[in-house]
Structure 1
Amino acid sequence: MKRVFVLHILPLEFYPPVTNFLNILSKEPGVAAKVYSTHNNKDRREYFVPGIKIFRSNYPSYIKRKSEKLWAFLVMVVGPLLQMLLYKPHSVLYYEPHSAFSVYLYKKFFNRKVNVFIHYHEYYSPEEFLGEGMSWVNYFHKKEVAFLYKKAVWISQTNTSRLSYFKKDHPDIEKEKLRTLANYPPKSWSNINFKEENPLSKLRLLYIGALSFENTYIKEILDFVLKHPTKVTLDIYSFNTKKEVSSYIKAMSVENITYYDKGIDYNRIPEMAVNYDVGLVLYKGHNLNYIYNAPNKLFEYLACGLSVWVPKNLLGCAPYLNDSTKPAVIQVDYVGLPQELLLKSKALADLPFYSSPYNDEDELKTIITFLKQVS
């Protein structure tokens, strides 16, 4: 039985690709796992999965009092280290530089034989580690670069573009360690009974995700929907919305825009999403990480049978553009959305339908096989 320790310091509830991975790992024969994470601050129901013990502590950045923040920081480092010492895993998989330090201590001083796997949800440019609030993450990252990158057996980014930038930042890492691991939804999402579109009805737009005026085209899409009250509706599900955006949407009070400020449980997305025609990706692409991002929501919308509007400046979505089958992926300029886009999107209903090929069960086979094979 291979023992795997998964360290994801940021709250699990905000990262469905991790919980999807744990769901699959919990059913994998020949593997046992334990997990360490932190409590979320958005009143999201805490994730659990039968067969895997999940340890949690408080995330320091969510705490205001300095003494409590310092204690939470110490627990965040020492807690996972103690659990690894007790569990004696064959392999450790950690996510993001936020999780690196406990693994560094364990590998360097207690168990040099443990196999280290590293995965990044995001690409961090060297400049980002110097940003505000990143001092301790930067310190952890230095331990990655100096030690863990040399010892790891697996380091992955979500796509080839991000991996290419990562290679440029760290040219000394052996190529055979570097992988891609995309964030796809469960295969079961593509087994939904999709509803037939009504060509006479309004075009039904759906947005799920975080919102800010700085980093998303929320104002632009709202303006577009307001201009076409008889032709389009927009439903927004977001539990992570900047206050000014939330106030702006609530002040509109129009029939064709509905805002659910509690968001939606991840597992309920498929049954809800079948009631829409188009899913929206609204990221502005304010840095390299987002420019070369193929967001989770792109694949989640596609799995639910929705065509998707993606911003033209998100180059990470370019490989998935498609207007010959549905669900389609259409590149748009949110700054100047033309009315013709409504007609084009309605016409997609006549295209042949093909279920999305992107699912986590197939994508995760390689890393799970590797976790089972290493000694």
Structure 2
Amino acid sequence: MKNKKLVWIILFEDFEVDGRVQRQVQALSDTYDVSVYSVTSKDIRSNYLNAQFIKIGSKVGFSHSSLIHLIKNLIFAKKNPDAILFNNIYTIPALILLKLFFRKSKFIYDSHELIVPDPITKYSIASKKSIFLERIGVKFSDLILCTNEKRSELMQQYYGLSKAPTSIENFVDIIPCSEDDKKVYKVRGKDKVKFLYQGILKDGRYLKELVDAFVFCELSEFHIYGFGPIESDLKDLALNHGILNSKVYFHGKLARDNLYSETIKYDAGLVLYDFSNMNNTYCSPNKTSEYILSGLPILCTPQESLSDLIEKHGVGECFSRVDLDNNSKLVASTIDKFAKNISCYQLRVNEAKDEFNFKKQADILRVSLLYLLSEGKV
């Protein structure tokens, strides 16, 4: 039996909370011998889909000591990987250093975030350092991955790349729900359309603006799962408006194991980002596919990547940015109008589900790596 080619996956993060890396493992572990090196403070599973996991250090995230520890572990492993996949900007120093030791290995960089600068924004020293590091890292990489086509265009233009990075969308890997699933999980006795937000509770997500808007909603409820620095402020705001636990509900942090069974209970999903930086302006949230595969149409902020998705598949609507910034009553009108047409949106979601499954994205990753290892640079 022919030996599988060896692929190392590197991340300065807890594997258990990085869905993109989990999907990398799922896409590659049947074809390749995959080892995941995770710099984390937490215990990690010993195996997952036939992959091997190696915990590095005792603290999560990047530091000079964790970088040294990682480099030592990889060098003394005395193996020669066919490819090394580096995740996020924090792995760039490791990418640069390991290029000295593994000259025959193919280096893959998955950017995760959009680092290229906005000409208007003033950047901190740390941000400027990240931009500088990524500029070097992409030049050392044989294959560059990003999360959508627009980001690919921007990276190619800014870094002067001969070929645009390969886009691997942040589509989740869950089985699309059926109408029977929705009937089983649907909350009984509720006549209002239930809008769901899942994620961090922080400034820059228009959450306060939405709480203000739900005061005027007649057909809709706002259900929030998550935690973060403005959680108490949001609860106080809802309480002061007199809509806490009548129009706005807080459910705390959602356990990953319960993600699907909870999401499917709701009628529509909210995807919310501000425009404060390039990463948000050209966002690529996994919530879009997670909601759609769970049968939820989307009401979202009007980023280009989101509005293109909405227009192409008809699976929801975008808020007006002007309304979000200035007019709670108009935002409420948008929400209730969406609620009135929820059945039409849900029908389109059911028709579009196959377009949002990770299977197609996994195929792109597998084909790209196959070509890289068999012929050369992609």
TM-score, structure 1 as length reference: 0.81
- Counterpart residue number, 2:83: 91
Is 1:261 aligned to 2:282, yes or no? Answer: no
Partner of 1:23, secondary structure, is helix
CA distance in 2, matches of 1:234, 1:89: 49
Partner of 1:362, secondary structure, is helix
Question: Cα distance 1:324–1:144, how it changes in 2: closer, same or farther (>3 A)?
Answer: closer
Partner of 1:188, secondary structure, is coil
Query: Structure 1, residues 56-82: CA drift from partner, whole Å, max 9, x if none?
Result: 434477xxxxxxxxxx72332123223
Partner of 2:343, secondary structure, is helix
Contact 1:282 1:310 (8 Å CA) reproduced: yes
CA distance in 1, matches of 2:41, 2:292: 28
- Counterpart residue number, 1:159: 148
Residue identity matched to 2:301 = P
Question: Cα distance 1:21–1:74, how it changes in 2: closer, same or farther (>3 A)?
Answer: same
Query: Structure 1, residues 165-190: CA drift from partner, whole Å, max 9, x if none?
Result: 2122111x221x62111110115245
Partner of 2:351, secondary structure, is coil
Is 1:39 aligned to 2:40, yes or no? Answer: yes
Q: CA deviation at 1:300?
A: 1.2
CA distance in 2, matches of 1:124, 1:320: 22
CA distance in 1, matches of 2:166, 2:226: 31
In the alignment, structure 2 segments of 5+ residues that lack a partner are none
Q: Following superposition of structure 1 onto structure 2, how do residues 317-336 of structure 1 map, counting pairs within 5 Å?
A: 317-322=306-311, 328-333=315-320, 334-335=324-325, 336=327
- Counterpart residue number, 1:237: 225
- Counterpart residue number, 2:48: 49
- Counterpart residue number, 2:231: 246
Contact 1:104 1:143 (8 Å CA) reproduced: no
Aligned-residue identity in percent: 19
Partner of 2:115, secondary structure, is coil
Pick from 345, 351, 355 the counterpart of residue 354 of structure 1: 351
Q: CA deviation at 1:124?
A: 0.7
CA distance in 2, matches of 1:73, 1:113: 27
Q: CA deviation at 1:303?
A: 1.2
Contact 1:194 1:305 (8 Å CA) reproduced: no
Question: Cα distance 1:360–1:348, how it changes in 2: closer, same or farther (>3 A)?
Answer: same
CA distance in 2, matches of 1:132, 1:184: 33
Q: CA RMSD in A?
A: 3.0
CA distance in 2, matches of 1:80, 1:324: 44
Question: Cα distance 1:321–1:180, how it changes in 2: closer, same or farther (>3 A)?
Answer: same
Residue identity matched to 1:115 = K
CA distance in 2, matches of 1:248, 1:142: 37
- Counterpart residue number, 1:17: 20
Q: CA deviation at 1:83?
A: 3.2
Q: CA deviation at 1:226?
A: 2.9
Query: Structure 1, residues 190-214: CA drift from partner, whole Å, max 9, x if none?
Result: 557442689981010100111212x
Is 1:297 aligned to 2:283, yes or no? Answer: no
Q: Following superposition of structure 1 onto structure 2, how do residues 301-312 of structure 1 map, counting pairs within 5 Å?
A: 301-312=291-302
CA distance in 1, matches of 2:313, 2:122: 42
- Counterpart residue number, 1:69: none
Contact 2:220 2:335 (8 Å CA) reproduced: no
- Counterpart residue number, 2:94: 102
Partner of 2:152, secondary structure, is helix
CA distance in 2, matches of 1:247, 1:238: 12
Contact 1:21 1:360 (8 Å CA) reproduced: no
TM-score, structure 2 as length reference: 0.80
Residue identity matched to 1:185 = V
Partner of 1:92, secondary structure, is strand
Q: CA deviation at 1:11?
A: 3.0
Deviates more, 1:180-189 or 1:332-341: 332-341
In the alignment, structure 1 segments of 5+ residues that lack a partner are 62-71
CA distance in 2, matches of 1:363, 1:274: 23
